[in-house]
Amino acid sequence: MRVCIVGGALQGMECVLLARAAGLSSVVVDRRPDAPALSLCDEPVVMDPVTDPESFSELTDGCDFVIPACESRRTLDALVSTVEDGRLLFDPRAYAVTSSKLKSNRLMASLDVPMPLSWPECGYPAIVKPSSLSGSVGVTLAHNIRGLSGGISDVRALGDRPVIQEFVSGRSVSVEVIGDGLRSEAFVTTEVCLDPYYDCKMVRCRPGILHESEERLLDGIGISVADALALRGIMDVEAIATRSGLKVLEVDARIPSQTPAAVLAATGVNLLMEMISSAEGELRGSGPFTGSSVYRHVVFSDGILRSCGEKEFARVHSPRFEEGLFGSDLAITDYDPHADEWRATLIVSGNSPDEADSRSEAVTGRMLDEMSLDSFTDEGPEVL
């Protein structure tokens, strides 16, 4: 089977990893010749589907499925108009709702989904974020009116509308949901660990991340939102496990980065293959599992080895897959022992959470030993 992945950044790298694990042939299309996923796939193609639709159509005629791994509206519109519904693993109607936090928040409120309080009821500290951008782009933590005004100005400078909500603290968790338009299934909960800029630096996948009742609640929320959207494809639900219960931050109807690789390493569940199975008429769920994994981004620069978030890792140059690097199961990296700067995503698995954590720590120790360094810097977000 041959799949065409459109977008060569983080989501594209994730898709190539999943395709590689499933034994699929992967084509990556990106208009940027330095897009990192181009060096990971079987067939790199530098092309803009928007400006060259004929060549793109000819390319995708030889592919079984086309997977958008980008958030460019012009590119997504081009794919929807070029690729037949049955081969495009993407739901444009669901994405139109979830790509706007204002729209998706209204939908979740109508379904009584627990969410952070809105401004001004929430008071300070408050989070100001763009309605239509993902990740930590344009996000401000405001402690006072000056910070709030600055955050609103930053969002408007990005050409977007601000969403202002209560800042909630706790563990960040995520679950993927796949739907076939009639029903949906929730998969595996992961814990997302953040860097100081609220970017994902590490993902843990293991049993018991949430209490059983909270896990049922999170799964139920994902399924209720997916069913309301009549989802055909994949969606992820991001929430914070606070002391007073779950608070859902957002939902996104597109293939995510980072969490699927952690799920695959821990459980063997390949969410790309689950999407393909659903598109072919067989929607499957995931059963109980016992394995665990740790997925972590690191960067070496200026003589310092440290953890880093997804945006920093995305600056990786011509990465490769490497098994066994520093004792990891799999790495995505441009590591060179003689280079002054390199980046890596290091993935380890274990039969238990303790084993996965121990193996991850051993990988860090081996990096320090082999590079003759004294310390590893690992910072998180501000704690309130």
Q: What is the pLDDT of residues 268-313, one digit of tens each?
A: 999 999 999 999 999 988 878 899 999 999 999 999 999 999 999 9
Do the strands 171-180 and 2-6 form a parallel or antiparallel pair, or are they unpaired? unpaired
CATH number of 117-166: 3.30.1490.20
List, by residue range, all CATH 3.30.470.20 domains of the chain: 96-102+169-279
Give the pLDDT confidence of 365-379 residue by residue, as tens digits: 999 999 999 999 999
Sign (positive or negative) of CA dihedral 104, 110, 115, 118: positive
Task: Calculate what percentage of the chain has a pLDDT beyond 90.
Answer: 92
Is residue 106's pLDDT more than 90?
Answer: yes
Fold of 96-102+169-279: D-amino Acid Aminotransferase; Chain A, domain 1 (3.30.470)
Residue keyed to tokens 């209560």:
166
| SS3 state at 49 | coil
List, by residue range, all CATH 3.40.50.720 domains of the chain: 2-90
Give the pLDDT confidence of 58-84 residue by residue, as tens digits: 999 999 999 999 989 999 999 999 998
How high is the pLDDT of residue 383?
55
How high is the pLDDT of residue 138?
82
Whole-angstrom distance, CA of residue 131 vs CA of residue 122:
18
Which tops the pLDDT comparison, 131 or 228? 228
Single-letter residue type at 355? E
Is residue 216's pLDDT more than 60?
Answer: yes
How high is the pLDDT of residue 60?
95
How high is the pLDDT of residue 132?
84
CATH number of 2-90: 3.40.50.720
Structure tokens at 240: 């914070």
pLDDT (average), residues 24-33: 98
In this prediction the pTM is: 0.94
Is residue 188's pLDDT more than 70?
Answer: yes
pLDDT (average), residues 100-111: 96
List, by residue range, all CATH 3.30.1490.20 domains of the chain: 117-166
How high is the pLDDT of residue 286?
80
Average predicted confidence (pLDDT) for the chain? 95
Q: How confident is the model at residue 136 (pLDDT cuts 50, 70, 90)?
A: low
Cα angle value 208/211/214 (rounded, 5°): 125
Using CB atoms within 10 Å of the CB of residue 78, give its burial: 0 to 12 exposed, 13 to 18 middle, 19+ buried: buried
How high is the pLDDT of residue 354?
97
pLDDT (average), residues 89-102: 95
Is residue 384's pLDDT more than 60?
Answer: no
List, by residue range, all CATH 3.30.70 domains of the chain: 292-377
Q: Are 5 and 26 in contact (CB under 8 A)?
A: yes
Whole-angstrom distance, CA of residue 169 vs CA of residue 172:
8
Fold of 292-377: Alpha-Beta Plaits (3.30.70)
Q: Are 259 and 203 in contact (CB under 8 A)?
A: yes
